[in-house]
């Protein structure tokens, strides 16, 4: 397969921007203006994460809904099972990063001490690095028959390119990082994971499957694995889902107006119960169909006890 010239051009531009912005943040200014200057780069990386994420969803949906197998039914079913495995591996990497990014977004723009506590003192950066390494190894081992590209275990932004850099890359990149810079570094790791998973999904696609696609006849949304009572300090968990899932333009699943990543129409909601009493949270499903924006909202009651 010939390399995609435009993709590698994009990679090069992103690399230059990351290096330039990181140099500015580490060695020149450390104020809110630097954070503002990083915003376009953050948006660009988030866009690429979402683009690869949507591609994985849509490729899966082509086989999940009303499949007709031309060649080998057992092979087709096995491919769908392998896609479920890919989904599970990707979730292990992506969801913890989303949670870390959410915490970083709540911090003041220049609070480097808070970043250090979150990423280094609480060992989240080390755990992320270990998850990424395991993710790459598991992809190579689980899908070795697909002749995948040689994935690197870490982004080049996390790899030393000078002999005098410290061996502990976690400290090098997060010890003096601002929340914005830390968010960019985490988003780059998500982008890598999504890109690798997308390559696997595309190669699984070439296995003799043909799809006959139907439109939605009925939209069904709901919750599963829901709990009604939780102890204070414990985590409340639930799954949001859309049945008969097919890729819908601008489909979003949200809780309390906060977007959560969904995989094939299903998303996990989890949050810590803080105060005692009867409460509720808002579940929302947003999508666009036939040129019309639609939002389905549920108020979900629960109770927090000692």
Spacing of C-alpha 215 from chain mean position? 27
CA pair distance 80, 74, nearest whole angstrom: 10
Digitized pLDDT (tens) for each residue of the chain, 306 residues in all: 444 444 444 555 555 555 555 545 444 444 444 556 677 777 777 777 777 777 776 666 665 554 544 444 555 566 777 888 888 888 889 889 988 999 998 999 889 899 999 999 999 988 988 898 899 889 888 888 777 777 665 544 444 444 444 445 566 678 888 898 888 888 888 888 888 888 888 777 644 333 322 233 344 556 665 667 888 888 888 877 776 555 566 778 888 888 887 776 677 788 888 888 888 888 888 877 777 787 878 788 888 888
CA pair distance 249, 9, nearest whole angstrom: 28
- Report pLDDT for 117: 93
Whether residue 245 contacts residue 216, with contact meaning beta carbons closer than 8 Å, is answered with no
CA pair distance 105, 182, nearest whole angstrom: 10
Q: What's the DSSP call for residue 146?
A: G
CA pair distance 210, 256, nearest whole angstrom: 39
**Strands, DSSP E only, in 7-165?**
67-69
This model's pTM is above 0.75: no
Reduced 3-state DSSP string for 162-206? CCCCCCCHHHHHHCCCCHHHHHHHHHHHHHHHHHHHHHHHHHHCC
Q: Comparing C-alpha atoms, which of 174, 103, 89 is closest to residue 131?
A: 89
Q: Comparing C-alpha atoms, which of 257, 263, 218, 256 is closest to residue 241?
A: 263
Whether residue 238 contacts residue 282, with contact meaning beta carbons closer than 8 Å, is answered with no
């Amino acid at each position: 397969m010939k390399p995609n010239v435009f993709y590698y051009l994009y990679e090069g531009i992103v690399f230059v921007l990351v290096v330039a912005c990181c140099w500015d943040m580490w060695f020149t200014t450390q104020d809110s203006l630097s954070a503002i200057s990083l915003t376009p780069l953050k948006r660009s990386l988030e866009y690429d994460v979402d683009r690869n994420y949507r591609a994985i969803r849509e490729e899966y949906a082509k086989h999940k809904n009303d499949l007709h197998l031309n060649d080998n039914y057992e092979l087709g079913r096995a491919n769908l099972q392998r896609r479920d495995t890919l989904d599970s591996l990707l979730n292990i990497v992506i969801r913890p990063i989303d949670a870390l990014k959410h915490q970083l977004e709540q911090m003041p723009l220049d609070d480097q001490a808070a970043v250090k506590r979150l990423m280094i003192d609480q060992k989240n950066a080390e755990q992320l690095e270990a998850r990424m390494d395991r993710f790459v190894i598991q992809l190579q081992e689980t899908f070795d028959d697909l002749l995948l590209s040689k994935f690197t275990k870490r982004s080049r932004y996390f790899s030393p390119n000078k002999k005098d850099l410290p061996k502990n890359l976690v400290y090098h990149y997060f010890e003096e990082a601002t929340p914005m810079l830390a968010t960019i570094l985490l988003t780059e790791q998500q982008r890598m994971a999504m890109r690798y998973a997308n390559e696997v999904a595309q190669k699984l696609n070439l296995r003799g499957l043909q799809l006959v696609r139907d439109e939605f006849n009925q939209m069904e949304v709901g919750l599963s694995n829901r709990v009604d009572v939780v102890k204070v300090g414990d985590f409340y968990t639930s799954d949001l889902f859309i049945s008969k899932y097919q890729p819908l333009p601008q489909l979003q699943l949200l809780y309390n107006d906060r977007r959560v990543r969904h995989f094939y129409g299903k998303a996990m909601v989890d949050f810590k119960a803080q105060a005692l009493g009867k409460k509720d949270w808002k579940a929302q499903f947003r999508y666009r169909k036939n040129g019309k924006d639609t939002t389905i909202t549920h108020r979900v009651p629960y109770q927090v006890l000692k």
